[in-house]
Amino acid sequence: MMQQNSFHAVIVAGGRGERAGLSVPKQYALLGGKAVVRWSAEAMLSHPLCAGLTIVIPPGDEARAMAEAALSGLTLCWATGGDSRQASVAAGLAGLDEELAGLVLVHDAARPGLDSATIDRLLTAFADATVDGAVPVLPVADTLALCGPDLGDVVDRSALVRVQTPQAFRLTALRAAHAGWQGASASDDAQMIRALGRAVAMVEGRRELEKVTHQGDLEQVEAMLCPAPRAGQWRTAVGMGFDVHRLIDGDGVWLGGLLIPHDRKLEGHSDADVLLHAITDAVLGGIGDGDIGQHFPPSDPQWRGASSDRFLAHACELVAACGGRIEHVDATVMCEAPKVGPHRQAIRERIAAIMGLPVARVSIKATTTERLGFTGRGEGIAAQAVVTVRLPDGGDNQ
């Protein structure tokens, strides 16, 4: 049953970002350690009335979006973009169920500064049954003038606004607008709804919703969203973790959130994922918050056979609750077998997804111990990890 005023979000991330001139399309660029598109995806999904999210990406970009933008940990649908923003929006709308999505919020991935309050203002506009759309707007602060070879006449700016996204619509109206559009390519959806003679309300926009368009914009938006810490406001902490599990007869070992085929398995109360346990302890070490056994006691039956993803995700949530963020993970697995190398990239991607990090910030290494000791004799597997955490001063655990 659809909740009153719940909405489905469509984030268009199907462009090439040519004007921004970055080394990757701007939706995948890192802003405050997180891919640009992930900022809006998280903001949409964390809104209590968000009933679903579709992200529109360039053709063939799904693996990249999941790995580079660390989107695989989020619950969402994919759509393949078109040659223009308008075509990409249409592709995103195509998969929506009319019944489930009464309202749709269409948003540019290139505007990472989305917050819940803006979404609330847009939704509130639909209390007026005559409204079919709502957009966030900002006043124009500069003098505006026509331009030709020389400066032309000044335009009355009191009659102008800057239109941002997300733009909210009744889905039936937006579909009709896209189906009936006959003009040149439309730069946003509100003008398409208005062409049908339908009303679009204006709500207060947000400075932080500035679009990353040209060179230098990414730095400016980052400065708004992640103000650089002044000396003494932040500190960097390094946490370390170490774990060992015994190998027994079985048919595969859980390592880094993946089941690796093997003729043995790791023994433990949970799934015994020795690598995730070491990383979890390193994350907890970074915030001085005990260890994995304290948070998930082996004596507690609810953790019997549990997937260790949950332990690591919980530790990452504790970092966020302190106002901190994880910068980097470096871990080493010690065993003779199974060989980790063939699975290294898949393990990095899985850990990055669990931790909400870009893959580049997760390093996984492996070594034998030259047949020495318990790992050398194949009696068990050991793993150690180092995690770097950035914490605001005052965000400390006592």
Ligand X SMILES: C[C@](O)(CO)[C@H](O)COP(=O)(O)O
Ligand Y SMILES: Nc1ccn([C@@H]2O[C@H](COP(=O)(O)OP(=O)(O)OP(=O)(O)O)[C@@H](O)[C@H]2O)c(=O)n1
Residues in 207-226 that interact with ligand Y by CB under 6 A: 211, 213
Q: Does 188 bind ligand X (CB under 6 A)?
A: yes
Residues in 52-81 that interact with ligand Y by CB under 6 A: 56, 81
Tell me if 7 sits within 8 A of 101, measured CB to CB. Answer: yes
- Tell me the C-alpha distance between 55 and 8, whole Å: 11
> What stretch of H or E contains 50?
strand 50-57
Return the residue of 172, 185, 187, 220 that touches ligand X, per CB under 6 A: 187
Residue 285 structure tokens: 């070490």
From 13-21, 46-54, 127-135, 334-342, span contacting ligand Y (CB under 6 A): 13-21
What 3-state class would DSSP assign to 301?
Answer: helix
246 Cβ contact list (under 8 Å, min separation 6): 266, 267, 379, 380
Phi, psi of 285 (to 5 degrees): -60, -35
CB of 32 to ligand Y, least distance (A): 18
169 is in an annotated binding site: no
Return the residue of 34, 85, 245, 262 that touches ligand X, per CB under 6 A: 85
377 is in an annotated binding site: yes
Q: Does 164 bind ligand X (CB under 6 A)?
A: yes
How buried is residue 224: exposed, middle or buried, by Cβ count under 10 Å (0-12/13-18/19+)? Answer: middle
Of 338, 284, 332, 340, the closest CA to residue 311 belongs to 284
CB of 217 to ligand Y, least distance (A): 10
Residue 6, beta-bridge partner list: none
Residues in 205-234 that interact with ligand X by CB under 6 A: 211, 213
Interacting partner of 363 out of ligand X, ligand Y, none (Cβ under 5 to 8 A depending on kind): none
Interacting partner of 188 out of ligand Y, ligand X, none (Cβ under 5 to 8 A depending on kind): ligand X
Return the residue of 1, 4, 18, 127 that touches ligand Y, per CB under 6 A: 18
368 is in an annotated binding site: yes
How buried is residue 124: exposed, middle or buried, by Cβ count under 10 Å (0-12/13-18/19+)? Answer: middle
**Which residues carry a binding-site annotation for a divalent metal cation?**
243, 245, 277
**Which residues carry a binding-site annotation?**
243-245, 269-270, 277, 291-293, 367-370, 374, 377
Residues engaged in binding ligand Y (CB under 6 A)? 12-20, 27, 56, 81-85, 88, 108-110, 211, 213
